[in-house]
Amino acid sequence: MKCRKCAGKAVINMRQYKLALCRDHFLEWVPAQTQRTIDKYQMFQFCERILVAVSGGKDSLSLWDILGRLGYQCDGLYIDLGVGGGIQYSDESQRCAQEFASQRNLNLHVVNIQKDYGETIIAIAERSMRGRDKPCAICGIAKRHIMNRVALEGGYSVLVTGHNLDDEAASLFGNTLNWIPGYLARQWPVLEANRTGLARKAKPLCRLYEREMATYALLRGIRYIYNECPYVEGSKSIYYKELLNKLEEKRPGAKLTFYLSFLQAKENGLFSPYADPDLEELHPCPTCNQPTSAPGQCAFCRMVAHLV
Ligand code: AMP
Ligand code: FES
Ligand code: ZN
Ligand code: ZN
């Protein structure tokens, strides 16, 4: 197969766009697509300081690479959750994030949950799982809390994550299966900071397929952790991704259309009655001062204080 732009040897064929590209043109195309997403959803500007949440995986490390190449000023944040498993997941992912930062002379904040809060996320989760079989929901609360704290304390204008199209389509699929209006109302490539202490959040890779990100990381020679968190296995999100991949196989572009048509429908007003920020009353948590809708302390402080 030949590159559409130069007729050289193609390294990837993106059936959804009927577009095959060679190495060099693909490495140009990914940042250009990312810039288009940043512009379309008005995520951030060149003068702003950006905090990139890096997990050590292909998406977030590639995102840090791409934003740097585009000329944005970015620091990284790695959260050591203390997840073990056969491959010592957290140790290995931290190594990848640190290696990436030091090779490029970039600034990486590292937050170690055990050091800062006395226990690993798994220990906190085991105590507070209450019948749930996975720590992922608890882990998600901790990640969101810490990302927001570091972004605000460090004076960053925006926090960015490496969520790709497959992540967003799977999450949309789950929210649609259950018709959860609140989640559907909030799902968007950028969430504005609000007065109550939530940092602006953006997902600049939301229109790029996971397969494209894996190819980008590989071609750029970025060393990343291949394994997913050991607790992800058997999760709903993996199941939804498998279903969507089956659909994509038969109908190239199905995932992209599913997600982009949703965004378009929202732009046309679908779900806007639910998007009223006043619907969710937020107040500062008395312990950490971060905004919460829970009565009293926020979910994270309750977890850490052994209240759940
Ligand atoms: P996940 O929820 O694991 O699919 O990750 C989604 C995004 O969250 C990643 O692309 C990263 O931007 C961010 N992220 C996940 N885990 C971590 C972590 N341990 N430290 C910092 N950022 C993370
Ligand atoms: Fe949080 Fe796996 S990364 S439970
Ligand atoms: Zn080419
Ligand atoms: Zn709190």
- What is the residue-level pLDDT of the chain in tens, covering all 308 positions? 999 999 999 999 999 999 999 999 999 999 999 999 999 999 999 999 999 999 999 999 999 999 999 999 999 999 999 887 656 888 999 999 999 999 999 999 999 999 998 888 888 888 776 656 788 888 999 999 999 999 999 999 999 999 999 999 999 999 999 888 888 988 999 998 876 688 999 999 999 999 999 999 999 999 999 988 888 888 899 999 999 999 999 999 999 999 999 999 999 988 776 655 545 678 899 999 998 988 889 999 998 887 66
Q: What is the pLDDT of residue 94?
A: 96
**What pLDDT, on the 0 to 100 scale, is given for residue 308?**
61
User: Whose C-alpha lies nearest to ligand 1, atom 12?
Assistant: 161
Cα 253 to ligand 3 centre (Å): 22
Task: Report residue 152 as tokens.
Answer: 């605000």
Distance in angstroms (rounded) separating the CA atoms of residues 279 and 36:
32
CB 184 within 8 A of CB 140: no
CB 101 within 8 A of CB 76: yes
Locate tokens 């620091």: which residue? Answer: 75
Q: Considering just the CA atoms, what is the radius of gyration of the chain in Å?
A: 20
Give the pTM.
0.94
The answer, yes or no, to whether any atom of ligand 2 lies below 6 A from the CB of 142, is no
Residue 86, pLDDT score: 58
Of 34, 50, 52, 54, the residue with max ligand 1 atoms within 8 A of its CB, to mutate for a pocket test, comes to 54
Q: Cβ contacts of residue 264 below 8 Å, gap of 6+?
A: none
What are the helix (H) ranges across the chain? 23-40, 58-70, 89-103, 113-117, 121-128, 136-153, 165-177, 181-186, 210-220, 236-250, 254-267, 299-304
Q: Find out whether 139 and 125 touch, Cβ atoms under 8 Å.
A: yes
Q: Which atom of ligand 1 is nearest to the CA of 81?
A: 19
Question: Residue 129: its pLDDT value, please?
Answer: 64
Contacts 24+ apart (CB under 8 A), 17-24: 17/253, 23/219
**C-alpha span between 151 and 226 (Å, rounded):** 27
Does the CA dihedral 264-270-272-274 come out positive or negative? negative
Q: Is 93 left (phi over 0), alpha (psi -120 to 50) or beta?
A: alpha
